[in-house]
Amino acid sequence: MPHYGDFQNEIYLAGLSGVVPKLPTDFATLEARAAAAMPPHVLNYVQGGCGDELTQRRNSEAFGHWGMVPRMMVDSTSRDLSIELFGQRYPTPLFMAPIGVTGICTQDQHGDLAAARASVATGVPLCLSTLTNDPLETVAQTLGDQPGFFQLYTPRDADVAASLVQRAEKAGYRAIVVTLDTWVTGWRPRDLNTASFPQLRGHVLSNYFSDPAFRKLLPQPPEVDPAAAIRAWTKLFGRVLTWADMPWLKSLTKLPIVLKGICHPDDARRAVDAGAGAIYCSNHGGRQANGGMAAIDLLPEVVKAAGSVPVLFDSGVRSGTDVVKALALGARAVGVGRPYAYGLALDGAAGATHVLRCLLAEADLLMAVNGWPSIAAVREAGALRVS
């Protein structure tokens, strides 16, 4: 079993030869470093959120309202962080949440491939966004045998939707993660004040431009008239889904359908009834709706309502401790968003790998110290509301 906490020894031992880590090991310093390095329009898009970003701040602050109680005299010298999901074992409960601009986070504009390399290096699955600079098939080639998931922004055109899903299934992705909360973009003052929206600048649309069903909708290929292709994309993006669409979504694929953006327990119950393969509790990192509760505070009720259906979680995870808390509150798998995008921006695949290794090391060492040798032990211990 890999000992993720050994990363700590590696760092201290390197220190004996005068070598300190190239990137910081904590989120605050990482974010500050990334903010100084990233082009302003990419930074605004990644770092920003909806409205005055109250919900975004709450997402991470709310982890502080939960506390965990250690157990002693338990042998936790060896920890098993592995989980079961969609009938398969994954070495850790961590995954990379879909980020639609990973492509432009690295200087070479191939950030999706860098994220895939970080996934291969760490075993942390990548949930690839619909919005990428490299087509999903190219990313799948970089992933090789490393399993990944495909996040779907359901197009208004049913043929394009079917084509994207079928391409993802054929390329070997293990689940279709359907994002429900982003058929329209939330009010984002940082991007509005700079009048900048990456997709409208022609970034990250490769899955559409390479799609035969999308290309059929255009009078000229995107290579000949990119501006018209971008206009066509704006018309196509953002199908409003209702529960009545679930049979149709399910009919497109044999893969499990994961519903992303579920925050209310009643919606979780409806998702179970509608045959969702997993429920993904998330408020999109506070980017879509402001004024909402912190996602982590909503997780316990969603988990209860989901019964035996696995619940994935993201929004506000900034440390290995946050990962463990989300597991303690019932998440099967925990997604991290902005932190790995900062890693990509600072040092490509190596940077994202570093960020993931830090999260895993901190989570693993916390489990060691607290006497929790497995995820089941974490879940049994739970977390308590402290304020």
Ligand X SMILES: O=C(O)C(=O)c1ccccc1
Ligand Y SMILES: Cc1cc2nc3c(=O)[nH]c(=O)nc-3n(C[C@H](O)[C@H](O)[C@H](O)COP(=O)(O)O)c2cc1C
Instruction: Please report, as ranges, the residues that interact with ligand X according to CB under 6 A.
Output: 100, 131, 182, 185, 199, 284, 287
Under 8 Å CB-to-CB from 257, ≥6 apart: which residues?
175, 176, 178, 246, 249, 250, 275, 276, 277
- The stretch near ligand Y (CB under 6 A) out of 73-81, 237-245, 280-288, 378-386 is 280-288
Which one is catalytic: 41, 110, 203, 284?
A: 284
Task: Write out the H or E segment, with its range, that includes residue 76.
Answer: none
> Which of 34, 336 has the CB closer to ligand Y?
336
Q: Which residues contact 85 (CB under 8 A, 6 or more apart)?
A: 278, 310, 332, 333
CA-nearest of 259, 289, 292, 237 to 179 is 259
- Contact between 124 and ligand Y by CB under 6 A: the answer reads no
Count Cβ atoms within 10 A of the Cβ of residue 184 and give its class: 0-12 exposed, 13-18 middle, 19 or more buried.
exposed
Contact between 319 and ligand Y by CB under 6 A: the answer reads no
The reply to whether 356 sits near ligand Y by the rule CB under 6 A is no
| Rg value, the chain, Cα | 20
Least distance in Å: CB of 203 to ligand Y? Answer: 12
* Closest by Cα among 335, 290, 291, 288 to 316: 335
Q: Out of 316, 330, 348, 373, which residue is the one contacting ligand Y (CB under 6 A)? A: 316
Local structure of residue 210 (DSSP, 8 states): T
| Cα 238 off chain centre by | 19
What phi, psi does 384 have (nearest 5°)? -110, 145
284 annotated active-site: yes
Residue 24 or 286 with smaller CB distance to ligand X: 286
The contact mask relative to ligand Y for 98-117 (x = CB under 6 A, - = no) is: xxxx----------------
**317 interacts with ligand Y by CB under 6 A:** yes
Give min distance, CB of 103 to ligand X, in A. 12
Closest CA to 118 of 342, 366, 383, 373: 342
C-alpha of 245 from chain center: 24
Binding-residue total with ligand Y (CB under 6 A): 24
Shortest approach of ligand Y to residue 262 CB, angstroms? 12
Q: Which is nearer to ligand Y, 222 or 316 (CB)?
A: 316
Q: Among residue numbers 43 through 62, which ones bind ligand Y (CB under 6 A)?
A: 45-46, 59
Q: Interface with ligand Y includes 131 (CB under 6 A)?
A: yes
Q: Give the CB-nearest residue to ligand X.
A: 185
Q: Residues in the site for ligand Y, rule: CB under 6 A?
A: 45-46, 59, 97-101, 129, 131, 151, 179, 260, 282, 284-285, 287, 314-317, 336-338
Q: Which residues are catalytic, by number?
A: 284
